[in-house]
Structure 1
C-alpha cells in the first residue's frame, strides 16, 4: 500500500512525470490498491477475531472489487502495451497520437468498461438462489458463489465465456504489439535500450499477472483435494498479493525518472532530519 501510494503521489505531483506512460502506471498502482483493499481487510479481521464468516452483501461487495481489479488490470496492461507500441514503432508521431485527451479517454474507458463488466456479473449472480453457505476459499469469488446455486447457471456461464473471450483478445493484442516492438528494437541498439528500460517492466508485470491468475485456475483444479489446502490457498491469493506488491517496485527500479526522483525525495528528508 505504501509503495503504491508513494508512486501515485510522485506521478501526480511531478509535472515531468505527466507523460502517458506514467499516467497509465499511476492507474495501475491505483488498481493495485483496489485489489489489495478487497482482500487484506477481511483477512486481517478473520485473523484478529478468529472469524470465518461474511454477510451476503459483504461477499458480493468483495466479489465486485476483486473482479474490478482483475478486469481493470487486464485492460490497463493492454492500453500500456499500445502506448509502448506507438512510442517505439512510431516515435515521430507519438505525441500527435497519444494526446492528453486520448490518454484520459483511454483511462476513462478502462474504468467504465471494467465497472460495466462487474455490474453485469453481480446482477447475474444475485439472481441465483443459494443452497449452501460454505465457500472453499479465503475470499468470496464469483464462481465459488455460483457453485452454491440451486438453479441453472447457463446465463452466468454465457457471461463468463463472453468476457473471458474479450480478455483473451486483449492478451492477443498485447502479444502482437510486442512482436512488432521487438522487431523494431532488434534493428537498433538505442531502441533496444529504450525497450529494456520502458517495455521490460511492462512485460514483467504482465507475466506476473498472467501467472498469478494461472495459479488461481490451478487452485480450482485442485479444489477438491483437502490435502493440498495450504498450497491451494497460496495459489488462490497470489494474484491479489504479488502483482500489487511487485509492480511499483519493478517500475521504480527500471524507470530512471522515478528512481531518481524517489532517491531525491528520501535524501531531502534525511538532510531535513539532520
Structure 2
C-alpha cells in the first residue's frame, strides 16, 4: 500500500452499505421521515421554551441546550446518510470525513456533559431547595451551557488535529459514516501519542461527567429515603427522564464501540447497521418525546402556543 496523508488523500470508501437495489428508496423514505420527525419535535420544544417566559428556568434552559445538541448531532449524520443511500458509489471526501468525525464526537461529549449539569441542577432543586435560586441563577446557567459546548469543541478539536497529522496507508472504512477509531486504524505512522490523548479524551468525555452524575443521584437517593411519600414521587418523576436518557445514550455508545472495535461478522448486517446508528437515531427521538410528555409545564405551553395559533389561523380564513 502507498502511504498517504490528508494532503494527498482525497477520499475514503465506506464499506458497510448494503446493495439493496430498489429497496434503497424505501430506506431513503424511512431515514428522511426519521430526520424530519427529529427536526420537528426538537425544534418545536426549543421554540416553546424560548417563547414562554415562565419556562426560562434552569431546568428548561438545560433542556433547550440538550435539544439543540440533538439537532446538531442529527444534522451531522442524516443528510449525509440520505445522499449515501441514493448513491451507487459510497465515498466521502477526506475533509468532510474529518468534519463529520468532529461533529459526531462533539455531539457525544456535549450530551454527556449536558446530562451531568442537569443532574447537578436536580440535586440542588431536591436536596437544597431553599438555596436553589441563589446557587443556580440564570447567569450561572448560561455559563454552564457555554462551558459545556466550549469544553467539548476544544477537546475534540485537539483530537481532530492529531488525527489529520497521521500518515494513512489506506482509505477503506467498514462503516456507514466516518468514525475516528476506524480512521486511526488506517495509520501506518506512530500512533502512540494519539492513543494516549485518545484515552484521555475517553476519561474526559465519560468519567468526568459521570462523577457529578453519581454524586447528584446518590444525594437525591439519600434525601428520598428520608423524605415523605409526596417528595419521593416528585423526585422520581423529575429524575426519571434524565436517568432514562443517560442509560439509553450510554447503551447506544457501548453498541457503537462494540461493533466498531470487535469482529462482528457473525452478527446479521442489518443488526450491525442498527447498532452503529442507535445513539444517533434513538437519543434525538427519545429525549424530546420523553421530556415533552413528562413535564406538564412544557405540555401546557406547547398546547397553548400551537393550538392558539391554529385557532386564530382558522378564524382568519373565515
Place the TM-score, normalised by the shorter chain, in its bin.
Answer: over 0.9
Match of 2:207 in 1: 168
Q: SS in structure 2 opposite 1:262?
A: helix
C-alpha distance in structure 2 between counterparts of 1:200 and 1:33, whole Å: 23
Contiguous gaps of at least 5 residues in structure 1: none
Match of 1:46 in 2: 84
Q: SS in structure 1 opposite 2:268?
A: helix
* 1:255 and 2:305 matched: no
C-alpha distance in structure 1 between counterparts of 2:71 and 2:253, whole Å: 17
Q: Alignment RMSD, CA only?
A: 1.5
Residue 74 (structure 1) aligned to one of 91, 112, 116: 112
Q: SS in structure 1 opposite 2:131?
A: helix
C-alpha distance in structure 2 between counterparts of 1:227 and 1:205, whole Å: 26
* 1:100 and 2:138 matched: yes
Instruction: Name the count of aligned residue pairs.
Output: 274
Deviates more, 1:80-89 or 1:148-157: 148-157
C-alpha distance in structure 2 between counterparts of 1:227 and 1:193, whole Å: 42
Match of 2:73 in 1: 35
- CA contact 1:8–1:26 (8 Å) conserved in 2: yes
Superposition pairs for residues 186-205 of structure 1, below 5 Å? 186=225, 187-205=227-245
C-alpha distance in structure 2 between counterparts of 1:148 and 1:226, whole Å: 23
Question: Once the two structures are superposed, what CA deviation does each residue of 1:66-102 show, in whole Å capped at 9, x if it has no partner?
Answer: 0110011111111111101101000000000001121
Match of 1:16 in 2: 54
Residue 185 (structure 1) aligned to one of 224, 239, 256: 224
- CA contact 1:34–1:69 (8 Å) conserved in 2: yes
- CA contact 1:35–1:240 (8 Å) conserved in 2: yes
C-alpha distance in structure 1 between counterparts of 2:267 and 2:254, whole Å: 20
Match of 1:216 in 2: 256
TM-score (norm. length: structure 1): 0.96
Higher relative contact order (CA 8 A, sep 6+): 2
C-alpha distance in structure 1 between counterparts of 2:307 and 2:72, whole Å: 30
Q: SS in structure 2 opposite 1:54?
A: strand
- CA contact 1:45–1:51 (8 Å) conserved in 2: no
- CA contact 2:127–2:220 (8 Å) conserved in 1: yes
- CA contact 2:48–2:305 (8 Å) conserved in 1: no
TM-score (norm. length: structure 2): 0.83
Q: SS in structure 2 opposite 1:128?
A: coil
C-alpha distance in structure 2 between counterparts of 1:80 and 1:229, whole Å: 36
Contiguous gaps of at least 5 residues in structure 2: 1-38
* 1:91 and 2:123 matched: no
Query: How far did 1:208 drift?
Result: 0.9
